[in-house]
């Protein structure tokens, strides 16, 4: 399973510091360099009337009932269950089925609309 790769349309915003950040600021950690919280990432989806905010979390941080985006232009999907076995994460995704990831892989988790 590929990692979540940043898209050129992405914007980054720290809701804690209330400021926009650049890809260089957040690169690799996807966290605010000032407060170390995950930044909101703007997700523009052609089929959606409003843009969404996601956090790019580690697979090891994924939990059941999270809502994730596997591929850009795909629908957001519900996570039914998550199980860790060694370095691997096994998730059961609604409408997708089983998903195997490395614990350090990244994945986009929905946090709400983009209102920044």
Residues that bind Zn ion (CB under 5 A): 14, 16-17, 32, 34-35
Work out how close the CB of 27 gets to Zn ion at its nearest, in angstroms, rounded to a whole number.
15
Using an 8 Å Cβ cutoff, are 45 and 52 in contact?
yes
Nearer of residues 5 and 24 to Zn ion, judged by Cβ: 24
Nearer of residues 32 and 79 to Zn ion, judged by Cβ: 32
CB atoms within 10 A of CB 109: 22
Work out how close the CB of 91 gets to Zn ion at its nearest, in angstroms, rounded to a whole number.
28
Read off the tokens for 67: 């809502």
Nearer of residues 32 and 43 to Zn ion, judged by Cβ: 32
Instruction: Please provide residue 93's backbone torsions phi and psi, each rounded to the nearest 5 degrees.
Output: -110, 130
Using an 8 Å Cβ cutoff, are 69 and 108 in contact?
yes
Work out how close the CB of 25 gets to Zn ion at its nearest, in angstroms, rounded to a whole number.
10
């Amino acid at each position: 399973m590929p990692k979540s790769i940043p898209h050129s349309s992405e914007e980054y915003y720290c809701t804690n510091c209330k400021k926009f950040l650049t890809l260089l600021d957040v690169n690799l950690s996807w966290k605010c360099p000032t407060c170390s919280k995950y930044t909101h990432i703007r997700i523009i989806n052609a089929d959606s009337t409003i843009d969404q905010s996601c956090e790019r979390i580690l697979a090891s941080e994924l939990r059941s009932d999270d809502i994730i985006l596997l591929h850009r232009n795909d629908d957001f999907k519900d996570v039914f269950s998550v199980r860790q076995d060694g370095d691997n994460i096994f998730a059961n995704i609604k409408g997708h089925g089983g998903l195997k990831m490395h614990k350090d892989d990244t994945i986009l988790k929905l946090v709400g609309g983009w209102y920044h």
